[in-house]
Amino acid sequence: MMRVFPLLLSFVTTVLFTAAQPTSSPFFKDADLVNTGIYYYPEHWPESQWERDISTIANMGFEFVHLAEFAWYKMEPTEGVFDFSWLDKVVNLCIKYRLKVLLCTPSATTPTWMRVNYPETFIMDGHYIRAENGTRGLGSMVSEKYRDGVRKVVAAMARRYGTNPHVIGWQVDNEPGAVADYSPASQAAFRIWLQKKYKTIGALNKAWGTAFWSQWFNNFGQVIIPNTNLVGWWGNNPHALLDFKRYSADTQAEFLDMQAAALRSHIAETQFITTNYTAVCTGADAMRTRKLDFATYTAYPNGGGDNIGNQGFRLGNARAVLFAADYYKSVGGVSGVMEMQPGPVNWGSYNPLLLPGTVRMWLYHTFAAGGRIACSYRFRQINYSSEQYHAGIMLTDGVTPSPGGEDYRRFMKEVKELRQQYRPGEAMPQQMKARSTAIVWNVENYWSIDRQKQTHQWDTWNFPVKYIEMAKSLGAPVDVVPETADLSAYKFVIIPAYELADEALVKKWADYAANGGHLLVTCRTAVKNRDGHFWEGPIAAPISKLIGARVKATDMLSGHGKGDIVLNGSHYKWNNWADLLAPFEGTEIVATYNDQFYKGMAAIVKRKSGKGSVTYVGVDTDDAELEKTVLQQTLNDAGASTENYPEGVYVYWRDGFYMAVNYASESYTMNLPENSKILVGEKTLKPAGVLVWKVF
């Protein structure tokens, strides 16, 4: 395959891609499908064991080794004095055993000399207490000294390994989370950020609504970071807090970009630059970075939840993969899992053994969803320090694979076999393509709504994830995309609780529907402008025309009592959220409230728009049965067939392969067409089961 490296330096964050299919990337071979790797921390083990460990990694089937993530102290033992001799040895061992290397910048953990010499390089928490070293992610990204230190160590690494052909790429930092920083340096940086945004203090006063409770500022010098720790819930200023979140996310993105720039000036263009966002990412915003080639995510599905059925506590929660796998592709077109839980962890509410095969199932899940990388934290379970009880690929003796290790081994063997069945250029089957669905996401809506939920029953994070699950259960391929994405590749677009909007965005949605797309808009959309203010007009005024109705009022129930809604003669229960709708002429009423004092009012409406349609779902229910029925109807009305996979069963298509995984405690038998050939697994998916097949 010819490799071209267009625009590596001026990366564009949103890419155009064919719905829900992995795109080609200059950094990966399509025919490899997925490359599997492992975190190894040589600095944790005696040098005499390095060769044994690296050769075991190779023999197990791993293809790359992830190194140096937290090893700042070892690469720069004293300030300005670098020592890479130890890392050279490990990299050379990897080369000897035909393993590729993925290097990580060590910015997430600073060495002790940094704390001693420059205590100001750490964040301050909401009680103005300084953090110190000893864990991850507490460096103050606006501290000049810290940034300087990071730039230097990153550049030194890049000079050392940037042209090594065995180094495939770089991960900058670890799990960037845009941690809130209330230090004096951050206060100053926030003021500069605000000044740039608002230009005049009058504009800031207006946007923040500072006339309320005497918060008025005479100049930017008076502004401080809004701090709910000190003023309590009542004292929260939602607009100020929203800006603080934006500032923190911008700062995080700029910090990652700074590292990427420090790397890029030394490394070969064949080496990629990425980072590993958390799967539930509510602080950092991947869409704000400009210099990463793509984004990966970390996935820890089992943290002590009940999940589905009596074995669910051993199988984990698919939501740890669902959103991330569908979303991070939006940065650079490809993604993958950088840390996949290898067994029990040490931080769950309790940490049971996993059902045999579970790690393999999770790996298949990320692979099925398009992952180009599958990597695990970590090779050896550590015998000491904070993560003693955290599983590794090897048990504490260092030589016996753990159950998760065996799962990895099996996965890697099977992937190698599947590569033989790969045929370039296979197109997504028409039946699936006809269901292609995009869910539009902007973390700012999360920040805004989660501050003012209005009911304890509202689950801000899981609201869009519920729609992913519904669409998947209907057999639709799903992408989670930013609002800047080209929507025309999708037959269906879901706008879930998109609270902050403006006229231009609403017009984009309206154009999509007018051009034949099918739009499903939910409650809590376009309720506020981008500053987080209500409109001086009816609720959700900008979308009234789009949805063909006015939102007259909103209700919610206690949770003990459930309301009744009728759709096509069937009854559904609701309790979380209910918009009371007054449809305009020509708008179809899809579902109505069947009790309460407003019995007979519309809950869900639909209208035709050009060749497309717009459906508005004013309700949020616990079991999502009502919403799923409406989504199904939307797909069917538009001519798309649907499946009805049970909870916990997820089916994907990629690169010519159909793949299914089962997170439920019950077996499920897949209905396969006659001309299909099973490549991995069995038609009946047991709990933690995997099935891969091709249709000829």
- Residues at the interface with ligand GAL (CB under 6 A): 174-175, 298, 300, 339, 345, 377, 387, 390
Smallest distance, Å, CB 386 to ligand GAL?
Answer: 8
Is the CB of 341 or the CB of 544 nearer to ligand GAL?
341
Select 69 or 181, whichever has its Cβ closest to ligand GAL: 69
Q: How far is the CB of 379 from ligand GAL (least distance, A)?
A: 13
Phi, psi at 685, each rounded to 5°: -85, 110
Helix then strand then coil, % of the chain, to nearest 5: 35, 20, 45
Cβ–Cβ under 8 Å, residues 167 and 269: no
Contact 102, 168 (CB under 8 A): yes
What residues does 337 pair with on adjacent strands?
297, 374
Smallest distance from ligand GAL to CB 387, Å: 6
* Torsion angle, alpha carbons of 15, 19, 24, 26, to 10: 20
Pairing mode, if any, of strands 549-555 and 577-583? antiparallel
Q: Which helix or strand (DSSP H or E) is residue 237 part of?
A: none
**Helix ranges, 452-492 (H):** 462-473
Q: Which is nearer to ligand GAL, 297 or 572 (CB)?
A: 297
Residue nearer to ligand GAL on the CB measure, 352 or 561: 352
Least distance to ligand GAL, CB of residue 346, Å: 7
Q: Name which of 381 and 445 has its Cβ closer to ligand GAL.
A: 381
* Residue nearest ligand GAL, CB atom distance: 175
Dist. CA 690–CA 670, nearest whole Å: 11
Rounded to 5 degrees, φ, ψ at 574 are -140, 160
Q: How far is the CB of 324 from ligand GAL (least distance, A)?
A: 13
Task: Report the C-alpha gap between 184 and 225 in whole angstroms.
Answer: 10
Closest CB 344 distance from ligand GAL, rounded Å: 10
**Cβ proximity to ligand GAL, 108 vs 412, nearer residue:** 108
User: Minimum distance from CB of 47 to ligand GAL (Å)?
Assistant: 23
Query: Which H/E stretch holds residue 521?
Result: strand 518-522
- Per DSSP, helices labelled H in 265-380 are 312-315, 319-327, 358-368
Residues 526/634/670/489 CA torsion (nearest 10 deg): -70
Is-contact 489 461, C-beta < 8 A?
no
Complex with ligand GAL: residue 339 or 627, whichever CB lies closer: 339
Residues sharing a CB contact under 8 Å with residue 81, sequence separation 6 or more, in sequence order: none
Nearest-approach distance from CB 277 to ligand GAL, in angstroms: 10
Q: Which is nearer to ligand GAL, 273 or 337 (CB)?
A: 337
Here the tokens at position 359 are: 């790690």
**CA-closest candidate to residue 583, choices 591, 571, 572, 574:** 591
Least distance in Å: CB of 338 to ligand GAL? 9
